Amino acid sequence: MSLRKADQVNTSAVVAFGLVGGFLTARESGIRPLGGVVLAAAGLLAGRTWLVKRGPAVAGVLGAAYLAGFGLSHPLAKKIGAWPSVLVVTAATAGASYLIVDKDD
């Protein structure tokens, strides 16, 4: 089994999987670092694709957005709840990835 070629990966789906899947994995397993593994693996896969498709500047901006989404979901969860927070940051980050990288494919 091998990874898809970087130019064939839908990064918005990978970003959504990383943020929602990481949260769900941590919540359901009770092992927060395991959720971090899911988050990191998806981030690396998306980052590889951003780099190949759009270059280092875009990869850096979207990588920062992905990490910021993860970070901002925590204080936002205190205001609107955990699931709504995860869904808001996921929509924003995956949406940005779609518009900047995936839309033209």
| pLDDT tens digits, 10-46 | 999 999 999 999 999 999 999 999 999 999 999 999 9
Q: Is the pLDDT of residue 72 over 90?
A: yes
- Residue 2, sorted as left (phi over 0), alpha (psi -120 to 50) or beta, turns out to be beta
pLDDT given at position 7: 74
Exposure b/e, 82-101, CB count within 10 A at least 16 = b: eeebbbbbbebbbebbbebb
Domain ranges of the chain: 9-102
d(CA 17, CA 81): 19
pLDDT given at position 5: 78
pTM equals 0.91
- Torsion angle (degrees, nearest 10) of CA 62, 64, 69, 70: 120
Integer-rounded Cα Rg, in Å, for the chain is 13
Torsions phi, psi of 89, nearest 5? -70, -30
What's the half-sphere exposure (Cβ side, CA atoms, 13 Å) at 11?
A: 33
